[in-house]
Structures are given as structure tokens and as C-alpha cells.
């Protein structure tokens, strides 16, 4: 008999919340018992996402209305800065409830770093040590044991999947890692901003947050851990006119006699048993088109024309492997489901 996990999704009126619902609807072991969206409490889900009409989902409620004692798992898609208090409240009434968090609130181990980059004090420093960093393929043990799973940001997921293995192997240098990122517009969230209107974001490309994007300290934290030494990165994200998708071009310095080929081979070995990671053969290029709607990461390695350098490129869907998909993957791990459950979706191409 199929086990069923009573699950609440918090922040159901945003894109990551919606993608968690989309995936959960196909998960045989998830019963969606509550969907929250405080500014829309009382409305049916199709008032905020029409494509969910007719699936029998519960109406939206305010967070305060959820009875945590009836919830086994909370998938949290709240804005940064609000999840810490919510997690404390959940913990107070139901210590066994697993929180799978897609915000940044529990990603940074150092609460000072959190305060510095997010502009507010950490609201639950006592819980931070419990949080597992949910980069599934690199942290299964902690994820499967923890009751707070801090899913990585979309950019960190792509960056770390591409860079952690060669860095840990000493195949690339820790200095001078330059990450040039391209993201679809959904990465900016559902908030109303003029620059995200179709007429303005369409047919154009532009950088943003140059030199000060909040995903930087998160990437640095994990790279530093892998390298055993502090690492600072360059990171420049760009908005490109597509709804979903993220492509990271990592310009790196080779180390220890490594070549682009040896880096590719090492990545291929590292991920050979990972169903959601694909290291492309030499010459093949990652395209966000090839992972749209799927939980996959595609990674490729190229020799640079600059001697002693290589280019490592990773592509994923920011709303799937970059957030909701990885959240479900971690959910599966935490509750003992096959890790691919509800994530079998092949990329939607064209």
C-alpha cells in the first residue's frame, strides 16, 4: 500500500510554489492538504493560476490557518526572510514536520553572512545548524536525515553541479572562477516589475545585479567547503527573453595538469549513476531547451583558446532542478520514495 505524506505548500501564488504543485499533483505519495497565499486567502487556486483549474486542489488559505499537526511535510516557497519565523512556528507545534525550503533562509551556514547579504538578522539561528543543504546529488546523507532541507538557489545548483567535482579533485583552481549566467525571466519571480513586462523584457538581453547578486555567497560557501579554502567568485547574471531556463558559463583556470578532457571525464565518472545529471560528450553543447520542464542538469566542458583555461557550462530549468524539482527530489529522499517519483517528465521540446 502506498504511503501518503500530508503536505502543505506555502507561497502557492508564486512560480516556485506553482511548480511544486504541478509536480506534486503527479506524485502518488503526496496529499496536498493546504496551499497558502496570504494575500489571496479564501480564493480557489485557479484565481491565481488558471492552469490548476479542475484538479480538485484545496482553496488558498493564510499561513496562520494551517494546522501544522496535520501536516507531515511543508514545502516552502515563501519570500526570503519569512521562512525562519514560519519554521519556528511549525517546529513549535509539530517537531516531526519536515520543512523543504526553497527560500534562502537556511542556505547560509554563517548567520552573519546571511544578515549581510539579505539585510536582516537571521530569525532562527538555533535552527540553522540543523539545516541540510539540499543539493541532492552532493548531500544525500544529510538531506535524508534532516528535518530542515534548505534547497539551493537556482544559480548555485547549476554552478555547484558543474564546479564541485573538478574543484574537489583539484582539477580547477579556486582563484579566478568567473561565472557568466543567463536566466529566463521567471527567475525574477511573479512580482510586478516594469522591466519584466513582455514588451520590455522581450526581444532583449541585459545584465543585472552585476557584482552583488545574493547567490554569490551561497556558491562561495559550498565551493570553499569543497576546496578546503576560502573561494571568491565572479558572478554576472543576465536576463534573456525566455520564461524558463538557466545556463551558466563558468570560465575557469585548470590546475594540477588537468585538461578540458580530463575535467569532462571526471565529471562523467562522478555523475555516471545520477539519472538527473548528464555530462555531454565532447563537442555537444548544453541548451536550456533540452531540459525545459525536466529535472535534468546538462553539463559540458570545453577547452578555452586561452591556454590553461577551460569553460564548463551547465544548463537546467530554474523552476525544476533549480527549485521545485529539486525540492521534490529532496522530499523523496526524506520520505523514502524513489528519488525520481514525480520527476520523470521528459523535457518539453519544442
Neighbours of 187 (CB within 10 A): 26
- State the minimum distance, in angstroms, from the CB of residue 90 to its own copies: 27
Confirm whether 154 is a catalytic residue. Answer: yes
User: Contact 104/78 with Cβ under 8 angstroms?
Assistant: no
Neighbours of 86 (CB within 10 A): 24
- State the minimum distance, in angstroms, from the CB of residue 108 to its own copies: 16
* Residue placing its CB nearer to its own copies in the complex, 46 or 144: 46
3-state secondary structure 138-159: HCHHHHHHCCEEECCCHHHHHH
How far is residue 308's CA from residue 148's CA, in Å, rounded to a whole number?
41
> Residue 132 carries which DSSP code?
E
| Burial class of 223 by CB neighbour count within 10 A (0 to 12, 13 to 18, 19+) | buried
- State the minimum distance, in angstroms, from the CB of residue 14 to its own copies: 11
* Residue placing its CB nearer to its own copies in the complex, 97 or 108: 108
User: Contact 316/322 with Cβ under 8 angstroms?
Assistant: yes
* Residue placing its CB nearer to its own copies in the complex, 144 or 236: 236
- State the minimum distance, in angstroms, from the CB of residue 78 to its own copies: 19
In angstroms, how far is CA 326 from the centroid of its own chain?
6
Long-range contacts of 52-58 (CB under 8 A, 24+ apart): 52/18, 52/21, 55/25, 57/21, 57/25, 57/32, 58/32, 58/33, 58/34
* Residue placing its CB nearer to its own copies in the complex, 84 or 345: 345
How far is residue 166's CA from residue 186's CA, in Å, rounded to a whole number?
30
- State the minimum distance, in angstroms, from the CB of residue 49 to its own copies: 7
User: Contact 77/17 with Cβ under 8 angstroms?
Assistant: yes
* Residue placing its CB nearer to its own copies in the complex, 134 or 314: 314
How far is residue 43's CA from residue 60's CA, in Å, rounded to a whole number?
6
Which is the catalytic residue, given 73, 76, 97, 154? 154
Which residues are registered as beta bridge partners of 300? 313
- State the minimum distance, in angstroms, from the CB of residue 8 to its own copies: 19
* Residue placing its CB nearer to its own copies in the complex, 83 or 249: 249
Catalytic residues: 154
Amino acid at each position: 500500500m502506498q504511503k501518503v505524506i500530508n503536505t502543505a505548500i506555502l507561497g502557492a501564488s508564486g512560480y516556485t510554489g506553482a511548480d511544486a504543485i504541478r509536480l506534486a499533483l503527479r506524485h502518488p505519495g503526496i496529499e496536498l492538504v493546504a496551499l497558502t497565499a496570504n494575500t489571496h486567502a479564501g480564493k480557489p487556486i485557479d484565481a491565481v493560476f488558471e492552469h490548476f483549474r479542475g484538479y480538485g486542489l484545496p482553496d488558498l488559505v493564510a499561513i496562520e490557518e494551517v494546522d501544522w499537526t496535520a501536516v507531515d511535510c511543508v514545502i516552502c516557497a515563501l519570500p526570503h526572510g519569512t521562512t525562519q519565523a514560519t519554521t519556528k512556528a511549525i517546529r513549535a507545534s509539530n517537531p516531526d514536520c519536515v520543512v523543504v525550503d526553497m527560500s534562502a533562509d537556511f542556505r547560509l551556514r554563517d548567520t552573519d553572512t546571511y544578515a549581510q547579504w539579505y539585510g536582516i538578522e537571521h530569525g532562527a539561528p538555533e535552527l540553522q545548524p540543523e539545516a541540510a543543504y539540499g543539493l541532492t546529488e552532493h548531500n544525500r546523507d544529510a538531506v535524508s536525515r534532516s528535518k530542515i532541507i534548505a534547497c539551493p538557489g537556482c544559480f548555485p545548483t547549476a554552478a555547484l553541479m558543474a564546479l564541485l567535482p573538478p574543484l574537489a579533485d583539484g582539477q580547477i583552481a579556486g582563484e579566478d572562477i568567473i561565472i557568466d549566467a543567463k536566466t529566463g525571466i521567471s527567475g525574477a519571480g511573479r512580482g510586478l516589475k516594469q522591466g519584466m513586462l513582455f514588451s520590455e523584457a522581450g526581444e532583449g538581453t541585459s545584465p543585472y545585479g552585476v557584482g552583488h547578486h545574493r547567490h554569490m555567497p551561497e556558491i562561495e560557501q559550498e565551493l570553499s567547503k569543497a576546496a578546503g579554502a576560502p573561494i571568491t567568485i565572479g558572478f554576472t547574471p543576465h536576463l534573456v527573453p525566455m520564461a524558463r531556463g538557466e545556463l551558466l558559463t563558468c570560465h575557469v583556470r585548470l590546475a594540477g595538469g588537468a585538461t578540458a578532457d580530463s575535467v569532462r571525464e571526471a565529471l562523467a565518472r562522478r555523475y555516471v549513476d545520477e539519472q538527473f545529471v548528464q555530462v555531454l560528450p565532447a563537442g555537444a553543447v548544453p541548451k536550456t531547451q533540452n531540459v525545459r520542464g525536466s529535472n535534468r542538469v546538462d553539463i559540458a566542458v570545453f577547452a578555452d583558446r586561452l591556454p590553461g583555461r577551460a569553460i564548463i557550462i551547465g544548463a537546467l530549468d530554474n523552476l525544476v532542478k533549480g527549485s521545485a524539482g529539486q525540492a521534490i527530489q529532496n522530499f523523496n529522499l526524506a520520505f523514502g520514495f524513489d528519488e525520481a517519483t514525480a520527476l520523470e517528465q521528459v523535457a518539453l521540446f519544442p
